[in-house]
Structure 1
Amino acid sequence: MRRIPAAMILAATATATATMLAGCSSGSTSADGGAGSASPSATTTSSGSASASTSPSASSSAACPLSVSDAWVKAADSGMSAAFGVVRNTSDAEVSITAAASPVSTMTQLHQTTMVDGSATMSEVSQLAVPASGDLTLAPGGNHIMFMGLTSPVQAGEDVPITLTCAGGGTIAFTAQARSYDGANESYEASTPAGM
């Protein structure tokens, strides 16, 4: 199993975040987009330091009291992909995820999937809420993290670094293993993100 150096994760996160902020400031609009397996993870605290971990979930600082388990990414040769898993809130207050970043794509968005005229349609949202002391399931056909403009193929078995940002500014970094999956082919609706 390949490990990603902490410096690469931090650099990729900074680049992806800058790209997302530039996209937001330019007035551009965009849209959204099963079972998982545990994978090794990296942990990043709100101070920005990172360390490798072999636990099946990621953990974070008090500024972002979330952990991620059963994380996986849909393998894809080009275009778009998505990340799934279970996000657990270890605090007694709701926590909102406001952004996601990964070096595998030029743009990363938070998505929900809704039924429109009998078809599943993805749309971007400004945040995903994780209930107090509860879980948010990211799954095909539901809420997920969308990777748009893949920088290279995401191959089955590959570890994909992902960083989530919480409303308070804290972050959590983890890895998700790519796997072959024929589903998650919802249509894409370009629009202004809900809640923005």
Structure 2
Amino acid sequence: MTHTDGRPGGAPAPSRDELGDAVWTIPNALSALRLLGVPLFLWLLLGPQADGWAVVVLMVSGATDWLDGKLARALGQSSKLGALLDPAADRLYIVATLVAFVIRDVVPFWVVALLVGREVVLAVVLLVLRAYGWPPLQVHYLGKAATFLLLYAFPLLLLADGVGPLAAVVAPVGYALTVWGTALYLLAAVLYVVQAAGLVRQSRAEARVQR
């Protein structure tokens, strides 16, 4: 499944095999910074319940998510490590936010069940691919779009959990982004599963030919 990464002309994004092995790069440092923000974000939500600062952490995470991809392309620093860290940070923020939101009763349980179930299915898919000798699938643009929507929806849901006119204004926007983001997130998972199934069939066909 070929897809683009937003480069001019719709050029296909490079596969992981074409990426460099560099570790100490600016994009990787930004991804690591995002990962370090996950426990801070959870503590802010569940400890002092400093929702304002938690929103700031999410905003910084979203900004660095956009920036590390731009810098990787602009500086020629795309790497295999970065291709792993970036989606890992996205998923950790989403799962951490969902756990905190369930504990604080901010979002319905069905939303959490769908999104966490999606991660479980993709984890199984990853194990199957590894068993057949395939690397993890490259992040699909639909998955990135879904993550973008959810990372914007979550701060709005936090604000909607409060009181006053601001909560009333942001609540419908936050819930709409949550529904759209969840739908795209599940659709991206379906595409990942379809792509993985194709790779497994290819491996089995090659194995039969070699017999």
| TM-score for both structures, normalised by structure 1 | 0.30
| Higher Rg of the two aligned structures | 2
- Pick 1 or 2: higher relative contact order, CA cutoff 8 A, min separation 6: 1
Structure with the higher fraction of residues in helix conformation: 2
